[in-house]
């Protein structure tokens, strides 16, 4: 969990053979890492089918103290990211580098991830089940509701452990 630091990528206009030959790398997620504060989560509105983040980027992010990354689009070097204990959630994994194919067009602007607008500073919560984006203006409201829900589930779990019949569990009426 942490605040979003957003990145928006698009496909470079130039042909990949020309950009590779000329060493034209327009990816700027490293600039986002330079801006990151400890605990930030990089949220990349990326390009499908191409890696928007790889192992070296993940290792740099870990060094900067980032809590993780959410990538709509491809990532690569998953083993490297795991070895440095940097969590990444992505929509796909690909071996295709973005180095000569992707251009970063914005850092810390609004992005769209799975149809949800994410603004810089919004709260990102992610676990093995999925990812949730909470607008910073609604953070307290969401926290209050989540705590009520967690407390109600704790009561229900205690009742289950105590042998309460399913029909008699709190909230099942």
- At 92 the pLDDT is 97
Residue 92: CB partners within 8 Å, gap ≥ 6?
A: 48, 49, 73, 74, 75
List the chain pLDDT tens, one digit each, 173 residues.
Answer: 999 999 999 999 988 888 888 888 888 889 999 999 999 999 999 999 999 999 999 999 999 999 999 999 999 999 999 999 999 999 999 999 999 999 999 999 999 999 999 999 999 999 999 999 999 999 999 999 999 999 999 999 999 999 999 888 887 75
Selection from 47, 44, 84 nearest residue 64 by Cα: 84
**Tokens at residue 40, please?**
């930030």
pLDDT of residue 83: 97
- What pLDDT does residue 173 have? 57
* CA torsion, ordered 83, 89, 94, 99, to nearest 10 deg: -80
For residues 6 and 118, the answer to whether their CB atoms sit within 8 Å is yes
Structure tokens at 21: 């030959």
**Cα distance between residue 119 and residue 2, in whole Å:** 13
Contact (CB, 8 A) for 52 and 93: no
Q: What is the pLDDT of residue 170?
A: 82
Is the entire prediction scored with pTM above 0.85? yes
Q: What secondary structure letter does DSSP report for 168?
A: G
Q: Are 70 and 86 in contact (CB under 8 A)?
A: no
Instruction: Report the 10 Å Cβ neighbour count for 26.
Output: 18
Beta bridge partners of residue 71, listed in sequence order:
44, 90
- The pLDDT value recorded for residue 153 is 93
């Amino acid at each position: 969990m942490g605040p979003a630091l957003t990145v928006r990528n698009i496909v470079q206009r130039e042909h990949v053979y020309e950009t590779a030959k000329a060493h034209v790398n327009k990816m700027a997620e490293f600039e986002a890492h330079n801006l990151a504060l400890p605990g930030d989560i990089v949220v990349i509105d990326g390009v499908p089918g191409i890696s928007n983040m790889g192992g070296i980027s993940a290792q740099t992010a870990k060094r900067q103290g980032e809590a993780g990354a959410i990538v709509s689009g491809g990532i690569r070097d998953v083993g490297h990211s795991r070895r440095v204990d940097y969590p990444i959630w992505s929509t796909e994994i690909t071996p295709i580098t973005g180095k000569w194919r992707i251009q970063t067009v914005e850092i810390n602007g609004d992005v769209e991830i799975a149809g949800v607008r994410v603004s810089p500073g919004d709260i990102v919560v992610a676990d093995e089940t999925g990812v949730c984006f909470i607008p910073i203006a609604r953070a307290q409201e969401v926290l209050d509701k989540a705590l009520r829900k967690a407390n109600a589930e704790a009561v229900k779990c205690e009742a289950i452990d105590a042998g309460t019949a399913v029909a008699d569990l709190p909230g099942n009426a």
